[in-house]
Amino acid sequence: MIPYSEACERNKGPILEVLRRWLPPHARVLEVGSGSGQHAVHICESLPVRWQPSDRPESLDGLQRRWALVARGPGPGHQEPPIELDVRRPEQWPAGPLEAVFSANTAHIMAWPAVLDLLAGSARVLAANGLLLLYGPFSDDGVHTSASNEAFDAHLRSLDPSMGVRDARQLAREAAAVGLETAADLSLPANNRMLIFRRHRLDPGDPPTPAQ
């Protein structure tokens, strides 16, 4: 059975338009938490990217089934075979440098320590000026941007106290601590946002920025 997400179907258009504006041509992109794989398919049908889907072991089977159906489909993008990735395990992260890391609707279901691992892992694999793009609902200094987001946050925490809508300003502070500066905070439909961070800290031994 191939998984399907109604939420992905609703938000794939707005997400694509953000990526169209922000990703350089032929960008190598790691998607963290690809889920049903619908974003990977839609984006590769539209943009000249090299897309690497990934997810935790329990989600890989369905993701691989979708990839097998569409990997050679029409479109300018190329979709790599899905890989296993638990953000908490540094050895599972693919080698960089990459132009972008993208993740949709994952931060609120990860425990907070895993969110920090997502930020740190992205900083490790991104090239200088590479982008981390996080899509989903976010609050600001603990204040929700809508009643629906507040209700969603309460629902998540009732299921598991480690889950919850994350604070965009806290994310920005934690991202800055690992060398990712805030580049944009974009409002999208249904009270969602795209937080975009750019890797700026260059340490000795950093890989060079890939040629475009």
Where exactly are the structural domains of the chain?
Answer: 6-199
pLDDT score of 202: 53
pLDDT score of 211: 36
**For the chain, what percentages of helix, strand and coil (3-state, to nearest 5) are there?**
35, 25, 40
Tell me how far apart the 2 most distant CA atoms of the chain are, in Å: 47
111 contacts 163 by C-beta, under 8 angstroms: yes
pLDDT score of 203: 54
Cα gap 52→122, rounded to integer Å: 14
Q: Which helix (H) or strand (E) holds 28?
A: strand 28-31
Fold of 6-199: Rossmann fold (3.40.50)
Q: How many CB atoms lie within 10 A of CB 197?
A: 27
Which tokens go with 29? 């992109």
Contacts of 166 (CB under 8 A, 6+ apart): 107, 108, 112, 115, 136, 138, 139
Q: At 115, phi and psi to the nearest 5?
A: -60, -40
Please state whether 205 falls in left (phi above 0), alpha (psi between -120 and 50) or beta. left
Contacts of 90 (CB under 8 A, 6+ apart): 121, 124
Which tokens go with 192? 């969602």
> Which residue numbers in the chain have pLDDT < 70?
71-73, 201-212
> Is the Cα dihedral 34, 58, 125, 167 positive or negative?
positive
